[in-house]
Structure 1
Amino acid sequence: MTFFSSDFLIYLLPVSDGFQNVTLPTEDGSTQIDHIIVSKFGIFVIETKNMKGWIFGSAHQKVWTQKIFKHTSKFQNPLHQNYKHIKTLQSCLGIEGDNVFSVIIFIGDSHFKTEMPENVTFARGGIEYIKSKNDIVFSDEQVSGFIKQNESGRLQPSIKTNIQHTKHVKEIVRNKNDNKICSRCGSAMVLRKAAKGKNAGNKFWGCSAFPKCRNVVAA
């Protein structure tokens, strides 16, 4: 998932180096970062989303909504997704603090229908956000060290690495499917049994936000 190459970012921005599709080891498998930009103004961890339609969400919501005409679907808050990327990268580099920035960039024919944080934007807006960080926070020596650490700490790109990461992601998705999420409001779904009517005795998934949300899915 890319919107432009790291080389293009380096050309546009005052950065020292950039990395694409970086797979880092974690305690439970691996995590893959779309782009990492390293500079004396900070380290920028970029998550790109290739989506279309209307996008609804806020910084604190666990689940965001994509709406394409009458079709509605839910997806994980990309800020939360990128938080794990940042914590993993900080652990690998041995750094703490607020000098690692999360950037979420949407590409494709999508439109925000709710107000988004300044670090959730489209391609050009992402460049402007990165350029707005103009305070020097790392020395040239630190930047060089981060680049070397990232090159040595990442899992080497290969078909095997991609297969292992894909397998890990599928396991996460499978576990999430066991904990169903309401497609309408994002609340947890609860397995229930019909007490009366023609479906008495049959099990179904009902939204835990009932009666505010009356979404029902067959078990």
Structure 2
Amino acid sequence: MDYSAILQPLYTALWYLIPLAIAGAVFNSPWFKGKVGEAVVNLAARLFLDKSRYHLIKNVTLPTADGTTQIDHIIVSRYGVFVVETKNMKGWIFGDARQRYWTQKIFKHSQKFQNPLHQNYKHVKTLQSLLGLDDQQIHSVVVFVGEATFKTPMPENVTYGRGYIRFIQSHTEERLSETEVQTIIDTIQSGRLAATFKNHRQHAAHVKQIVAQKEREPRCPKCQGEMIRRVVKRGANAGKAFWGCKAFPVCRGVLNIELE
């Protein structure tokens, strides 16, 4: 019996379904969402920031003492250097500046993600070291794109959509001269790593290592914040080490050192 007439429609369907499945996997991947978010932020900068005063530098990977760090966007102006971290997320977002992890909630599903302010802190400090800037000359900015809704009060430098443009434009005091602006641009361009597959792979491996290390570190059982080693100073347990919340006395979460 010739099955070709029966199987041919199946083969035809597979030719359509396989590419659709691959496309669906790509579109739903964190990589693709990140690229879309970065594209939205790039477009907003080009449309709403004066190109003669604000200079956009994208996807900058810089060497650090322990590997590399990748910065989504750097905007250089006379009003300072703005280091922009992009998050393309949806759902409800809960968090504050002190917490180590924030929460994304979509219907009944919740998941933790690293506080983007903490994530951007390393970017800022790396640039400060490279450029020799003080705290008044460099600014950390986080921008959420997508269908995200903040459900807790956020710092002014955590923004949604075009809010990051308004934050940047709210800085009107000149911190740098035109000569310094051009020097900063040249220094970043000369100090960045080339956008090669090898460098991208090395950076991805470095990030994976950092994430694994952070997952091994204890979290505060009360606020999910960072914990530090402390020592009991008095009483029956004097001299005994334990994990205490870094936000003490605001948060008094503790863990026994054996639970490290």
Q: TM-score range by the shorter chain?
A: 0.7 to 0.9
What one-letter code is carried by the residue in structure 2 that aligns with 1:12? Answer: F
Residue in 1 aligned with 2:9?
A: none
Q: Percent identity?
A: 51
Specify whether residues 23 and 165 from structure 1 end up closer, same or farther in structure 2 by C-alpha distance, changes over 3 A only.
same
Please give the residue correspondences for 1:17-32 in structure 2 after superposition, counting only pairs within 5 Å. 17-32=55-70
What one-letter code is carried by the residue in structure 1 that aligns with 2:59? Answer: N
Farther-moved stretch of structure 1 (177-186 vs 79-88): 177-186
Of 137, 159, 165, the match for 2:175: 137
RMSD between aligned residues: 2.3
Q: Shift of the alpha carbon at 1:8?
A: 5.0
> Would you say the 8 A contact 1:6–1:19 is kept in 2?
no
Of 42, 45, 49, the match for 2:87: 49
CA deviations over 1:128-170 (Å, ceiling 9, x no partner): 1111111111100000000000001111111111101000011
Q: Shift of the alpha carbon at 1:76?
A: 1.1
Verify: 1:35 aligned to 2:73, yes or no: yes
Please give the residue correspondences for 1:21-100 in structure 2 after superposition, counting only pairs within 5 Å. 21-100=59-138
Residue in 2 aligned with 1:109?
A: 147
- Alpha-carbon distance between aligned partners in 2 of 1:6 and 1:111, rounded to the nearest angstrom: 21
Determine helix, strand or coil for the equivalent of 1:4: helix
Please give the residue correspondences for 1:66-215 in structure 2 after superposition, counting only pairs within 5 Å. 66-179=104-217, 181=219, 186=224
Specify whether residues 187 and 153 from structure 1 end up closer, same or farther in structure 2 by C-alpha distance, changes over 3 A only.
closer
What one-letter code is carried by the residue in structure 1 that aligns with 2:202? Answer: Q
Determine helix, strand or coil for the equivalent of 2:96: coil
Using structure 2 for the length normalisation, give the TM-score. Answer: 0.68
Residue in 2 aligned with 1:13?
A: 49
- Alpha-carbon distance between aligned partners in 2 of 1:114 and 1:8, rounded to the nearest angstrom: 25
Higher-RCO chain (CA-CA 8 Å, sequence separation at least 6)? 1
Q: Shift of the alpha carbon at 1:118?
A: 1.1
- Alpha-carbon distance between aligned partners in 2 of 1:77 and 1:6, rounded to the nearest angstrom: 22
How many aligned positions are there?
A: 192
- Alpha-carbon distance between aligned partners in 2 of 1:182 and 1:68, rounded to the nearest angstrom: 24
Farther-moved stretch of structure 1 (71-80 vs 173-182): 173-182
Using structure 1 for the length normalisation, give the TM-score. Answer: 0.80
> Would you say the 8 A contact 2:62–2:193 is kept in 1?
yes
Specify whether residues 56 and 98 from structure 1 end up closer, same or farther in structure 2 by C-alpha distance, changes over 3 A only.
same
Q: Shift of the alpha carbon at 1:10?
A: 4.0
What one-letter code is carried by the residue in structure 1 that aligns with 2:125? Answer: K
CA deviations over 1:40-74 (Å, ceiling 9, x no partner): 11110000001111100111111111111111111
- Alpha-carbon distance between aligned partners in 1 of 2:172 and 2:184, rounded to the nearest angstrom: 19
Q: Shift of the alpha carbon at 1:6?
A: 3.9
Q: Shift of the alpha carbon at 1:5?
A: 5.6
> Would you say the 8 A contact 2:41–2:86 is kept in 1?
no
In terms of fraction of residues, the more helix-rich structure is 2
Larger Rg: 2
What one-letter code is carried by the residue in structure 1 that aligns with 2:57? Answer: F
Residue in 2 aligned with 1:204?
A: none
Specify whether residues 127 and 16 from structure 1 end up closer, same or farther in structure 2 by C-alpha distance, changes over 3 A only.
closer
Determine helix, strand or coil for the equivalent of 1:137: coil
